[in-house]
């Protein structure tokens, strides 16, 4: 079930919308629970960037969990903090007992926790860990995310190995790290990658950062184009970034400056937002990606919340997932094994 994200500005409209939402949800699916039995489980799943394949896959796997366990999933998302807060009201009005969220803004954490508490909803955060008022992670809020630093380090090691394999002259080679430091998991990834590249012998003054204003392909394209204008003498770029889209924007910027595909190398993170790129008949500079487990992030989070609601089994406070390196050589096989592609 997919909800449009309501934008509640006027109280009357808001009440009417919530009522119609409740009616809509009450009317769909299973018949009401018999008197005395536990109510049917309903779980909300809010994501910050619903247009991205990564988040669509999280939903797809959460839906699989809903089918397997017989609960109702309410999907909604937007890259907007106000809408995230409004979604909590909508989940409560729809009769949900809890929700999974990848928040558009980690600093909203305390507000989301308060709203969930007030509405009596259980809460599980995915991908982006909440921050408290002191800027530190809210460790008492249940979270499932990636081992970001470690995955970033793997990207750095793989880029260094690829530089050697391709025989790039270190004197003409530089690193482009497409960063989004506002988000802790993103910063840990690029910090991990650049630390390993420096350890592999790239001097610190040849490790350049391209900070994205928005965490998407246009944001990266703009940031990397600016960097390329400032550093015209580099022949080979090693591109890392917060996720696939960050790296893809960098690759598009290199193409815009006529870098040959084999002259540079990019390695992404997610593995789900670069499938079209890997499927292209001609290789680009996008060499591969660390495929994260969309199944763990979608199925497992929804399932953990379901067990918590239904059986009182509290999930661990902090669960971390790992990734698998995919390239043009193995991606079809690995995506099939992980249930992402037929
Ligand atoms: C963050 C990123 C996503 C994905 C996820 C695991 O939310 O923005 O692209 O990498 O972590």
241 CA → ligand 1 middle, Å: 11
**pLDDT value of residue 24:** 37
DSSP 180: -
The whole-model pTM stands at 0.90
Q: Which CATH number fits domain 11-141+294-321: 1.10.150.130, 3.40.50.620, 3.40.50.2300, 1.10.3720.10?
A: 3.40.50.2300
83 CA → ligand 1 middle, Å: 19
Closest ligand 1 atom to Cα of 49: 8
Structure tokens at 252: 């598009």
Closest ligand 1 atom to Cα of 292: 6
**CA-wise closest residue to 72 among 123, 128, 32:** 32
E-strand ranges in the chain read 42-47, 72-77, 98-101, 122-126, 143-146, 173-179, 207-211, 236-241, 265-270, 286-292, 318-321, 323-327
| Superfamily name with CATH number, domain 148-292 | Response regulator (3.40.50.2300)
Domain range annotation of the chain: 11-141+294-321, 148-292
CA distances to 312, 320, 330 from 305, in Å: 9, 16, 33
**pLDDT value of residue 93:** 98
60 near 300, Cβ under 8 Å?
Answer: no
Q: Along the 342 residues of the chain, how does pLDDT read in single tens digits?
A: 555 443 333 333 333 333 333 333 433 334 455 555 777 999 999 999 999 999 999 999 999 999 999 999 999 999 999 999 999 999 999 999 999 999 999 999 999 999 999 999 999 999 999 999 999 999 999 999 999 999 999 999 999 999 999 999 999 999 999 999 999 999 999 999 999 999 999 999 999 999 999 999 999 999 999 999 999 999 999 999 999 999 999 999 999 999 999 999 999 999 999 999 999 999 999 999 999 999 999 999 999 999 999 999 999 999 999 999 999 999 999 999 999 998
Same fold flag, 11-141+294-321 and 148-292? yes
Structure tokens at 196: 């390993």
- Burial group, residue 146, by CB count within 10 angstroms (0-12, 13-18, 19+): buried
Residues 6+ apart with CB under 8 A from 247: 178, 220, 239, 240, 241, 266, 267, 268, 269, 274, 286, 289
Structure tokens at 94: 């729809």
249 near 221, Cβ under 8 Å?
Answer: yes
Q: Is 184 in the pocket of ligand 1 (CB under 6 A)?
A: no
Integer Cα distance of 46 and 48 in angstroms: 7
Question: In sequence order, what DSSP letters do the residues of 116-153 get, joined into one string?
Answer: HHHHT-EEEEESS--B-TTSSB-TTS-EEEE-HHHHHH
**pLDDT value of residue 6:** 39
Integer Cα distance of 293 and 335 in angstroms: 10
CA distances to 46, 96, 180, 312 from 306, in Å: 15, 11, 33, 9
Closest ligand 1 atom to Cα of 297: 6
**pLDDT value of residue 22:** 36
Q: Is 55 in the pocket of ligand 1 (CB under 6 A)?
A: no
Which residue's C-alpha comes closest to atom 6 of ligand 1?
Answer: 127
């Amino acid at each position: 079930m997919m909800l449009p994200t309501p934008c509640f500005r006027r109280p009357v409209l808001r009440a009417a919308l919530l009522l119609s939402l409740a009616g809509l949800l009450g009317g769909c699916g299973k018949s009401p629970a018999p008197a005395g039995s536990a109510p049917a489980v309903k779980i909300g799943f809010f994501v910050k960037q619903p247009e991205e394949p990564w988040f669509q896959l999280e939903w797809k796997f959460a839906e699989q969990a809903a089918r397997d366990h017989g609960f109702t999933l309410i999907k909604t998302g937007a890259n907007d903090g106000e809408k995230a807060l409004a979604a909590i009201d909508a989940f409560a009005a729809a009769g949900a007992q809890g929700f999974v969220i990848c928040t558009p803004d980690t600093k909203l954490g305390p507000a989301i926790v308060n709203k969930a508490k007030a509405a009596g909803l259980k809460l599980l955060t995915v991908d982006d860990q909440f921050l408290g008022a002191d800027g530190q992670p809210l460790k008492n809020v249940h979270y499932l995310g990636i081992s970001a630093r470690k995955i970033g380090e793997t990207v750095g090691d793989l880029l260094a190995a690829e530089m050697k394999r391709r025989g790039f002259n270190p004197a003409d080679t530089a690193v482009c790290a497409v960063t989004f430091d506002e988000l802790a998991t993103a910063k840990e990834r690029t910090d991990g990658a650049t630390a390993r590249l420096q350890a592999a012998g790239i001097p610190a003054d040849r490790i350049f950062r391209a900070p994205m204003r928005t965490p998407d392909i246009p944001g990266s394209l703009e940031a990397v184009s600016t960097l390329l204008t400032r550093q015209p003498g580099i022949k080979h770029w090693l591109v890392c970034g917060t996720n696939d889209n960050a790296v893809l924007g960098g690759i598009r910027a290199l193409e815009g400056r006529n870098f040959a595909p084999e002259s540079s190398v990019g390695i992404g993170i997610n593995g789900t937002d670069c499938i079209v790129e890997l499927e292209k008949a001609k290789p680009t500079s996008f060499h591969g990606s660390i495929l994260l487990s969309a199944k763990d992030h979608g199925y497992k989070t929804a399932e953990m919340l379901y067990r918590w609601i239904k059986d009182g089994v509290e999930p661990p406070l902090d669960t971390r997932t790992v990734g698998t390196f995919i390239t043009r050589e193995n991606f079809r096989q690995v995506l099939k094994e992980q249930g992402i592609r037929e």
